[in-house]
Amino acid sequence: MTAFTAALIEAAHDYRYLLDRGYPESSSIALVGNRHRLEADGRLMLFRGVASRADSERRRDRLAPPRDGDLVLLDAYNVVFTIVHYYLGKPCFLSSDGCLRDAGANYGRVSHGELLLRVFAELAGFLSPRNLVLEAFFDAPVSRSGEHAAALRAAFSSAHCLAEVGAAASADGAIGARIEFILGPRKDIDQEARTRDPSGSHRRLFVASSDSVLVDRAPWAWDLAREFLEERHAATFGNFAAILDGQA
């Protein structure tokens, strides 16, 4: 479990105060980080862990587990690296919007290849009993992304998961395009789009990602990394929502 320091807790309240009043994220992080003398990890945790009250509530409202037959668009590196960073002991925490995030910061570099392959296999085994339609997307500019896509494809195949796996110039862009293709272009996801049938069946459309841009674009979001770690490892995490909103 990632413990929050007193300085980080105070900074979280200050940062939320500024966000709720429309101040820009970058300048607010700099101001609050300097005031509370936060190191790089603390600033990254603040940036990834705290959103405005309105944004947090909207994203929490989208979070749900998929059910049999649902279509899940998997943001592969996002989910896999959250699990990898947990195994490596990096700070992992629940953000104010309910999503599990970390302060691992790969910036396009991939190491710990054996651990990555282990996570592919474990994730495929975790998903195998579920009757889901999976489409997984890797970011092609990341080193060895083609090999990683092939390895995850093989892991899914061995676990008898129904999945398509590929690499795109931007996983976020490819997933966003799939959402728009299925639901049609729209500025906001309304209740009709969240509940209506996207493909002639009764399945719902999910993204498996903690990326706030994707969560905002999708009808439903599944925090797959959090569910995996909580179920497989009884993991517990520091919770920004509990600090800011008094929620468990």
Model pLDDT for residues 64-113, shown as the tens digit of each residue:
999 999 999 999 999 999 999 999 999 999 999 999 999 876 645 556 68
Flag whether pLDDT at 224 surpasses 70.
yes
pLDDT at 68: 93
Average the pLDDT over each of 112-126, 157-171, 175-189 and give the range with the smallest value.
175-189
Looking at per-residue confidence, does 216 or 107 come out higher?
216
Q: Which residues pair with 139 in a beta bridge?
A: 168
Q: Beta strand 133-139 with 71-75: parallel, antiparallel or unpaired? A: parallel
Residue ranges making up the domain that contains 45: 6-50
pLDDT digits (tens, 9 = 90+) for 137-168: 999 999 899 999 999 999 999 999 989 999 99
Residue 68 and residue 43 share a domain = no
Domain assignment present for 98: no
Statement: the pTM of the whole predicted model exceeds 0.95: no
Domain assignment present for 155: yes
pLDDT at 198: 46
Domain assignment present for 186: yes
pLDDT at 197: 47
Domain assignment present for 204: yes
Residue 121 and residue 45 share a domain = no
At 135, the pLDDT band (50, 70, 90 cuts) reads very high
pLDDT at 113: 81
Residue 77 and residue 36 share a domain = no
Looking at per-residue confidence, does 227 or 183 come out higher?
227
Residue 157 and residue 39 share a domain = no
| 181-214 core/surface letters (b: 16 or more CB in 10 A; e: else) | eebeeeeebeeebbeeebeeeebbbbbbbbbbeb
Flag whether pLDDT at 2 surpasses 50.
yes
Residue 112 and residue 28 share a domain = no
Domain assignment present for 68: yes
Q: Domain holding 165: CATH number? A: 3.40.50
Residue 226 and residue 152 share a domain = yes
Tally the domains of the chain: 2
Residue 182 and residue 74 share a domain = yes
Residue 145 and residue 39 share a domain = no
Domain assignment present for 165: yes
Residue 32 and residue 67 share a domain = no
Q: Give the chain's mean pLDDT.
A: 90
Domain assignment present for 182: yes
Domain assignment present for 102: no
pLDDT digits (tens, 9 = 90+) for 121-131: 999 999 999 99
Residue 62 and residue 44 share a domain = no
| Cα 173 from Cα 218, distance rounded (Å) | 12
Residue 134 and residue 213 share a domain = yes
Flag whether pLDDT at 180 surpasses 70.
yes
Of the chain, the percentage scoring pLDDT greater than 70 comes to: 88
Residue 121 and residue 154 share a domain = yes
Half-sphere exposure of 27 (CA within 13 A, CB side): 4
Q: In what order do the strands lie in the sheet with 238-239?
A: 100-102, 92-94, 238-239
